[in-house]
Structure 1
C-alpha cells in the first residue's frame, strides 16, 4: 500500500473528525470530538510544521498533531496526538507516524525553546493493548496514570455546605485574569503543570466554544478574592452520539492557603447540583492518580467513580 504523507490543512477537518470517532467506536475510549472541536485544535497548531496527514488511495488513513506549550519550565513536554483508522491498523503506519511527529516536535522545540531539554509524550487509554505495545516498542515509558472519573447526576448527590467565611458565585468574565493567576498558583506544584499564558488560557476557556461559564463557579474568601474555582466544559457531540448530556470539569482547584477547609468539596457539590438543575445527566473529570493534594478523595466522596485510566507516556529526545 502506497502512503502519501503531508501536513494537515483545515480542509481535512471533516475527515479527521470522522476518523477520530470511528476509532473511538472501535476502542471505547469515551472521548468524542466534533468538527468544531478539531477546528479549534487546528487553530492552536502550527499545521505546516506540526501536523501530518497520512493518505491511502486518496483517503485519510491516519493523522497527527504536535502540541507545544507557551511557557515550559524545566523539561519541555511536547504532546503528540494522533490516530490510525481502524481499517488501516497493523500495517505499520503507527510505527512511522509517531517518529515523524517526534521529528517535527524537535524542529519546533529547537526553534522556540532551544535552551530546554525536550521530551515528547502521548496519552494512551490503558485498555488499548495495541496502542500500549506500539508506544513501548518506540521507547516511550509510562510517566503518570490519570483516572477519568464519572458521576451520574441523580437525586443521591452529596450535599456539602459552604464553609464559613466563603461564598460561591458564578464565574465572571470580569475576574478572568484573576482566575487565571489563581489557577496557575493552585497547580504550580502539580506534576507536568506549567503556567498558562493569557493566550493558552483563552484557548482553553474564555475563547473556547466548549467553555460554559454559566456552569462554572468561584469560591470567594472574606476579602472578596478568588480562593477556589470550578471551570466546566460541554461537548455537544457526546450527547449527539450517546444521548448523555455530560458536564466536563476541566479544572478544579483551591489556593494552598485555603485547602483543608472544605472549599473544593463545597464548590464541587454546588457545581453538580446546578448541573443537574440545568439538565445534565453526568459529570466527568480527570485526575492524576498520584495527586499530592488528595483530590481523588474529594471526588470519591462526591460520588465519582473511575471509568477509565489514561497513561501519559513520555520519551526524552536528543537534540
Structure 2
C-alpha cells in the first residue's frame, strides 16, 4: 500500500518478526482507549501467521526513527451478503502520535486498496471513540450497524436448561479432536451464519487457524448440540485470552460464536448450550463470561442472552464506505437486518 506520512516516519508491510513491537503498540493503545482488548506477542505472531492474511498487500506498520511501532493497519478481504466484496480494516495509532495525520494517511491507503479491488470498506469502532468516528466520517464512511458487548457475572448462579427432545449436548473437550469436529463445525457455522449481516463463509484452512486452532480456543468450554443421528444442530465456541487474564487478574470466558442451524431455531437450543457453557465456566474458575451481539439481530439472540444473565457493557458501531462506481460515486446499499461481522 502507498501511504503519505509525516517526516521521520516510514511504513512497510508487517512481517512475522514484528509481533513483539505490534504487541507493544496495542498495549499502549489499550492503556488509553480502555476497550478491554489485550494481545501479547504470541497473539500477534498467530495473527501474522494467518494464511488468509496477505501481509505484503494488506498490512502496514508505521515506525519511527528508533524502529518503534507508532501505528498499524490490517485489512482483510471478505465477501458475503449484503455488502458483497469488502475490505475489513482494523487500525490504530499510538496515543503519543495522534493528531499528526497518521490516521488520515492510513485511512486513505485502505480506501485506495479497496478501490483497486472494487471493494467496500468496513471498520468497527467503539461508539465512545469520538476521534476515530470523526475520522471515519471525514473519509466518507457512514454508520450501518451497532454491536453490543455483554458481560455475565459468573458468581450469580446459572439456571440449568435442558435441551429439547431428541437433542443432546456434548462438550468438545481437551484434547480437542480436530479430525472429528473441525469439518462438521465449519459446515455448521457456514450454514448458521449464511443469512447473517456481514458474515462470510470460511474455508478449512482459515477455520483451523482462526477458530479451533487459535491459542485462545478453549474446547473444554465449547459445546455442540447433536441430533439423534449425530448431526450438529447448534454449537458454541469459547475463548480465553491470556493477555487479558494477565492484565486484569481475573478470568473471562469469551463466548466467541453461538450458532443454531436454521432448521433447529426456535427450539431453545441456544439457551441450553449457553447454560451448559456458563455452568462449566463457573466450575472452572472464570469470574465472568462475555460476548458480542448484533444489536439488530432478528433471531432473538438478545433475548436469549438477557435470560442467560448477560448485561450490556459497551457498544461498537460498524462504519461503511460502499464500493466506488467507475464514475467515482459511491454505490450505497441499504443494510439488511441480519447477523454479525
Cα shift readout 1:54-88 (whole Å, capped 9, x = no counterpart): 1233332111111123x546611211111100001
Question: Does the CA-based 8 Å contact 1:8-1:47 persist in structure 2?
Answer: yes
The residue number in structure 2 matching 1:238 is 244
User: CA separation in 1, counterparts of 2:70 and 2:246?
Assistant: 25
User: CA separation in 2, counterparts of 1:188 and 1:72?
Assistant: 8
Give the C-alpha shift of residue 93 in structure 1. Answer: 0.9
Matches within 5 A, 1:29-178: 29-44=35-50, 45-58=53-66, 59-69=68-78, 72=80, 75-107=84-116, 109=117, 117-171=118-172, 172-173=177-178, 174-178=180-184
Moved more, 40-49 or 136-145: 40-49
User: CA separation in 2, counterparts of 1:38 and 1:89?
Assistant: 22
Moved more, 215-224 or 56-65: 56-65
3-state SS in 2 of match to 1:156? coil
Given candidates 271, 291, 313, the residue that maps to 1:265 is: 271
Moved more, 235-244 or 163-172: 163-172
Give the C-alpha shift of residue 259 in structure 1. Answer: 1.4
User: CA separation in 2, counterparts of 1:176 and 1:93?
Assistant: 41
Cα shift readout 1:215-248 (whole Å, capped 9, x = no counterpart): 1100112222111100111111111001121111
Moved more, 173-182 or 240-249: 173-182
Matches within 5 A, 1:154-303: 154-171=155-172, 172-173=177-178, 174-303=180-309
3-state SS in 2 of match to 1:36? helix
3-state SS in 1 of match to 2:322? strand
Give the C-alpha shift of residue 298 in structure 1. Answer: 0.3
User: CA separation in 2, counterparts of 1:8 and 1:176?
Assistant: 29
Cα shift readout 1:239-274 (whole Å, capped 9, x = no counterpart): 100112111111111112211111110000000101
3-state SS in 2 of match to 1:169? strand
TM-score, normalised via structure 2 length: 0.87
TM-score, normalised via structure 1 length: 0.92
Question: Does the CA-based 8 Å contact 1:79-1:122 persist in structure 2?
Answer: yes
User: CA separation in 1, counterparts of 2:221 and 2:71?
Assistant: 35
User: CA separation in 1, counterparts of 2:182 and 2:74?
Assistant: 29
Tell me, which stretches of 5 or more residues in structure 2 are unaligned? 1-5, 327-341
User: CA separation in 1, counterparts of 2:25 and 2:114?
Assistant: 23
User: CA separation in 2, counterparts of 1:194 and 1:97?
Assistant: 25
